[in-house]
Structure 1
Amino acid sequence: MKYLLTIFFFSGVTVLTAQTNGSFFLFNKDWSSMQDFDKATYFMQQVKENDTTFTCRYYQKNGPMVKWETYLDSNMTIPNGLFAWYNKRGDLDSIGYTNRGRKNLTWQYGFKSDGSAITAEEYLNGRLVKRINYKTKIISYPSGKEEKLEDAKENKTDVFRKAEFIDGGIDGWVKYVSENLKTPERYMSIAGPNSDGYVGVSFEINTMGKVNKIFLYHSAEWSADNEAIRLLNNSPIWNPAEKNGLPAEYNFRQKLTFRVGL
């Protein structure tokens, strides 16, 4: 799998850089670098999350995300973290994780409307451990061995409490979203009047009650996606989930809708 593209930094594209952070890169339709925004087919925003995490999101110039990559360095030479690819409609197609340039943990392919994958692979620092076909419910191993995938069974002895928005529960969260999610002007100009779209987000509430691990399973367009990420990053604290009386991580998945009037 080829992760790195030759890129060329550019500046001064105010339509993208206004009120947002990160570095921007432009590409032709063949993914060669260029400098003219009007003639570009794709662009990429690189965001420094911390000193060892650089998130790169590639977009159709006036459409959804194409791919999401994470690197250890700003020069994008060491894949390290989440990688994802999207179809032309902005739906998640495949996702996986890397550890210093090698495939690691779970890689999932071919997502259905309910968010479940059709197939998956498990890796350990670049070594394939097993393949899972959820349609046939068969697990296959590099040795050639196969076995039946057993349905996961819930532990009935566990006592679990879901994470809850600290200011009013689910109603408070809906209020926070409705009052703070803004439809960007760029999205309005691209989507056109009397239209709507959505950004599909997943995120974790960690054991401290903070929003963490923000990811998009459906991309609408660059400015709408960034607005969804901003909203989640600015979320007030939550009451964390509990498992058997101890704080636990909890994952949410929802749609954030953007509407354009006449």
Structure 2
Amino acid sequence: MRLLPFLLLFLSTGSAAQQYYAGKKTAIRFTDRSGEKIKEEEADLLIAVTKVNDTLFRKDVYKAYGPLEVSHSYKTNNLDELHGRTIEYKKNGLADQFGFYLNGQKEGEWLLVNDSGRIYKKQYFLQGKLTKTEEVQRPAMDSSKPLGDEFEAQFTGGFEAWRNYLQTNMNYPKKAIKLEITGTVTISFIVNKDGTVNYPFPYRSVYYYLDMEALRLIENSPAWKPAYQNNQPVASFFLQGISFKLSN
């Protein structure tokens, strides 16, 4: 569990759960690296543009048959000025850094991820200018603190209930089956104090259609048991892997 002192920007528009992926209308095109639209089988990139709401449009740039390269947010469907969350990815699909733009400039806290997937650095921006950098240390165990007053968020009913939910609700994308694409998608999201989930995104991406199915499963999941600290429910940052495997 990671509590949220460094993720308050996610909550700046309110903590009510809303969907960012599931059920949204998306326009997909296949292009080469220059942006020219070409046939899918010859494409380098899959570009998906989604209207999340009237003031939020997301552009996801994927390798045509591989993981995300970058996810940008904009205020209008002109996609001409960055505004909102951006996530940049390493070549293997793991998030590299993420944060927010405000009117085309980096703003607030940005988090940097190392090759093992750990957030290791924070950068702070004001109107596009870097103002401070902090190293993120691994949390140390505090032996003086009594045990039993902190609990990580978890799916209601535990592992068996989670496995049953996946088995009952997962729809393996037909395109991925045809191409025999498998892998584990890791989704980052917030478990709110009331157990609802919010602000998901691929923390480790595999392939567009697998990512979208993993995000749908997270956004449509029943309420989770929230994290507890000092015997009080708290919002927490959670990573959940969802594996896609094909039987022989």
Which bracket does the TM-score occupy, shorter chain normalised? 0.7 to 0.9
Percent same amino acid at aligned positions? Answer: 28
Asked if 1:181 is matched to 2:184, the reply is: no
The alpha carbon displacement at 1:153 in A equals 8.3
Q: 1:28 aligns with which of 16, 32, 57?
A: 32
The corresponding residue for 1:231 is 217
What is the rounded CA distance, in whole Å, between the counterparts of 1:60 and 1:66 in structure 2?
7
The corresponding residue for 1:124 is 126
What is the rounded CA distance, in whole Å, between the counterparts of 1:23 and 1:239 in structure 2?
35
Name structure 2 gaps, 5 residues minimum: 1-22
What is the rounded CA distance, in whole Å, between the counterparts of 1:87 and 1:241 in structure 2?
30
Q: Secondary structure at the match of 2:228?
A: strand
Residues 112, 118 of structure 1: 8 Å contact kept: no
- Structure number with greater CO (CA < 8 Å, separation at least 6) is 2
The corresponding residue for 1:251 is 237
1:94-133 to 2 correspondences below 5 Å: 94-113=97-116, 115-133=117-135
1:148-187 to 2 correspondences below 5 Å: 156=145, 159-166=149-156, 168-187=157-176
Residues 30, 64 of structure 2: 8 Å contact kept: no
What is the rounded CA distance, in whole Å, between the counterparts of 2:44 and 2:138 in structure 1?
45
The corresponding residue for 2:194 is 208
- TM-score normalised to the size of structure 1? 0.74
Q: Secondary structure at the match of 1:199?
A: strand
Q: Any runs of at least 4 consecutive aligned residues in structure 1 with deviations exceeding 6 A, and if so which? A: 149-155
Number of residue pairs matched by the alignment: 224
Query: What do you get for the CA RMSD once the two structures are aligned?
Result: 2.8
- TM-score normalised to the size of structure 2? 0.77
Residues 97, 104 of structure 1: 8 Å contact kept: yes
What is the rounded CA distance, in whole Å, between the counterparts of 1:65 and 1:150 in structure 2?
27
Which structure is larger by alpha-carbon Rg, 1 or 2? 1
Name structure 1 gaps, 5 residues minimum: 1-18, 135-148
